Amino acid sequence: MALTTEAEMLAITKKLAKVDPAFKPYIAQSPLCTIGRKRPKHGHFETLVESILSQLISTKAADTITARVRELGKGELTPESLARLSHEKLRSAGLTNVKTRAISELAEASLSGKIDFKTLSRKSNQEISKELIQITGIGRWTVEMFLIFHLGRLDVWPVGDLAVRKGWQIVHGKKNEIEAKKLDLLGGSFDGYQSVVAWYCWRATDN
C-alpha cells in the first residue's frame, strides 16, 4: 500500500482547518495524524484475529488471551495454525463461543479463498466491508478500524464510534452528543479525508 507522506498529511490538516476552523486548536496542539503513514506490523489476517480477540474486553485481558491463542498455534496466528485448533482448544484460551466461531470462520474463509487476503488491500472500502462482514464477530466498527488503522484508508467516516461523536461534540462546543445519522451527513464536507477528521475527534477526547 502507498503510504501517506508528512507533506500530504500536512496539506490535509490545512484543508481541514479551512473547511472547519473549529479543528484548528486541536490540530495545533496534537501530533500530526498518523493514519496511513507507517506500514502495519502484522498481516491482514493476523490483525483481524487480534481485533476479534480484543473485542469487549480490557487491553490486559486481550493481550493475555492473544498470547494463549498464539501459543496454541505454535507461535503463529495464521489460517493454517488456527484451523487446526478445535472449538474446545480455542475455548480453553478464554474465548467466548462467538469469538471461537469467528476465528474458525475467518481461518476457513482464508484457506478456501472466500476471502483473498493477498488482494484485499487493492479492493475498495465497500468491497472489503462486504467480504469481512460475512464473518461472525466482524461488524461495521471492526471493519472501519481495520480500514483506518491497518490499511491506512483516509476516507472512512466511523460515525458509529462513540468517541468520534463525543470528540465532535467537544471540538464544536456542543452541549449534547451529535447523533450518528446527523454526523454521517456532515462527512461530505470532508470528502476523501474523513478518517483524519475522526482521528482529531479522538484526540479531542484525550485533552
Q: What is the pLDDT of residue 206?
A: 86
Give a three-class secondary structure readout of 129-147.
HHHHCCCCCCCHHHHHHHH
Q: Examine residue 78 and state whether it is found in any structural domain, yes or no.
A: yes
- The set of residues, in sequence order, having a beta carbon less than 8 Å from that of 95 and lying 6+ positions away, is 53, 65, 69, 103
Number of domains the chain contains: 2
CA distance 131 to 89: 27
The verdict on pTM exceeding 0.85 is yes
Residues 140, 104 share a domain: yes
Distances (CA, A) of 30 to 8, 44, 201: 17, 29, 11
Q: What is the per-residue pLDDT across 59-93, written as a single tens digit (0 to 9) for each?
A: 899 999 999 999 999 999 999 999 999 999 999 99
Look at residue 145 and tell me if it is in a domain: yes
81-125, pLDDT tens digit by residue?
A: 999 999 999 999 999 999 999 999 999 999 999 999 999 999 999
In the structure, what pLDDT confidence band is assigned to residue 155 with cuts at 50, 70 and 90?
Answer: very high
Nearest-angstrom CA–CA distance, 25 and 32: 13
Examine the fold and report which residue of 150, 177, 194 is the final residue of a domain before the chain moves on.
150
Domain that holds residue 67: 44-150
